[in-house]
Chain A
Amino acid sequence: MSRSSVTILTWGFVTGIAMAKSTLTVQQALAMSLLVYAGTSQLTALPLIAAGLPIWMILVTSFMVNLRFVIFSLGLQIHFSYLSTWRKILLGYCTADFSYLFYIRRYSKPETDEERRSDQEHLRLHWLMGMQFSNWVLWQLGSIAGILLASQIPNRWGLEFAGAIALLVIIVPMLDRAAARWAAVTASIVAVATYGIPFRLNILIAIVAALVVGMMTDKSPKSSIP
């Protein structure tokens, strides 16, 4: 099995464990895995669900942590502008990190009109769909295995902490610039210091503070897409 397959399986597995050890039931965890299909937003939603936050606040947070996909969709836009809106939504929904990164590596330039006319079978689209299929299957296998296994393990083992470590592993590679590190330090201090105020507003205050500090300390040229 390739390295990326192992990575997808492992991430699915850990996310599955974190879901099963949160306040979700096994059925809810399975439904979340099969329907939401976005590890980062699942992992960040778990503490918010446990805290009893209103649905809309959790959804806004999900969208925020999913913003990298919004950037990805900008990359795919020119490749698939010929599809109908529903096909675009379906294609987008299925495009997780690995399918996108492999597709863009293989097909960095969009097809010319000439190439598209001669490509009656939409080879690129089907290549991406194949990628999506294997990504989905591997993720769900790992995730379902994690949910079922963790549901058999007593709560006193403290396995729910695996979810926090998984988030940590997602965050650290994002700290590649000084401005990002300042933003992260600000968010941590503010979120902890204001913890306990109603509606978990500490999260919102921390995000705003981190955005301000991040933009102020950012010295990279403006208007360049990451």
Chain B
Amino acid sequence: MQIDWNIYLLIIGMALVTAWSRSFFMILGERIKVADWVIEAIRFAPLAAMVAILAPEIFLPGNATSVAQFDWKLPNIWGGMAALIAFYLTRKMLFTLIVGMAVFTAVRFWA
């Protein structure tokens, strides 16, 4: 069996990122003052990163190479929209998942 060391290197790196981010200010100590613009950026950065990664997953097909492959018949779009509405109305994660997967699957097979 081929072992992909790059993936394991990444996993170890991500574990270190977990440890570093969760203990960040504890190990920095109490001397550090945080600049205002850093706090400002911290408020939007995680949201921006997650949306930037998720949006192409929803709006473009998996093997896309450019925005030209946008297509309204894509099951991701409909599944994503259904999940968004389901979560907006109920705030229930499991229900959202079931609705999103159901619509995604339905469009995949019948559209």
Contact = CB atoms under 8 A, between A and B. Distances in A.
A28 B51 contact: no
Contact of A81 (B4, B30, B42, B105): B30
Contact of A183 (B23, B30, B44, B94): B44
Q: Which of B27, B55, B80 has the most CB of A within 10 A?
A: B55
Give the 8 A-B residue pairs with the shortest CB-CB distance, closest first: A92-B23, A210-B48, A196-B66, A206-B52, A188-B55, A214-B44, A92-B22, A187-B51
A68 B46 contact: yes
A225 B80 CA distance: 31
A181 B34 CA distance: 25
Interface string B2-24: 00101111111111011111111
A30 B88 CA distance: 32
A160 B100 CA distance: 12
Interface in B68-88: 70, 75-76, 79-80, 83-84, 87-88
Given A44-B53, A64-B46, A69-B22, 20 more contacts: A7-B93, A28-B8, A47-B57, A49-B7, A55-B6, A67-B45, A67-B46, A69-B24, A77-B26, A88-B23, A165-B79, A167-B50, A168-B58, A168-B84, A172-B87, A191-B53, A192-B56, A193-B67, A207-B45, A224-B39
B80 A165 contact: yes
Contacts of B47: 171, 174-175, 180, 183-184, 187, 210, 214
B44 A35 contact: no
Nearest to A42: B14
Interface of B: 4, 6-15, 17-30, 34, 36, 39-60, 64-67, 70, 75-76, 79-80, 83-84, 87-88, 93-94, 96-97, 100-101, 104-105, 108
Interface string A67-92: 11111111011101101010011111
Contacts of A141: none
A78 B70 CA distance: 50
Interface of A: 7, 10-11, 14, 24, 28, 31-32, 35-38, 40-42, 44-45, 47-49, 55, 58-59, 61-74, 76-78, 80-81, 83, 85, 88-95, 157-159, 161-162, 164-172, 174-175, 179-180, 183-184, 187-196, 202-203, 206-207, 210-211, 214-215, 218, 222-226
Contacts of B94: 10
Contacts of A92: 19, 22-24, 26-27
Nearest to A44: B53
Nearest to A72: B22
B67 A73 contact: no
The A interface, classified by DSSP as helix, strand, loop or mixed, is helix
B17 A63 contact: yes
5 contacts: A45-B10, A183-B44, A188-B55, A222-B36, A223-B36
Nearest to B51: A187
Nearest to B70: A192
B53 A36 contact: no
Nearest to B57: A164
A184 B51 contact: yes
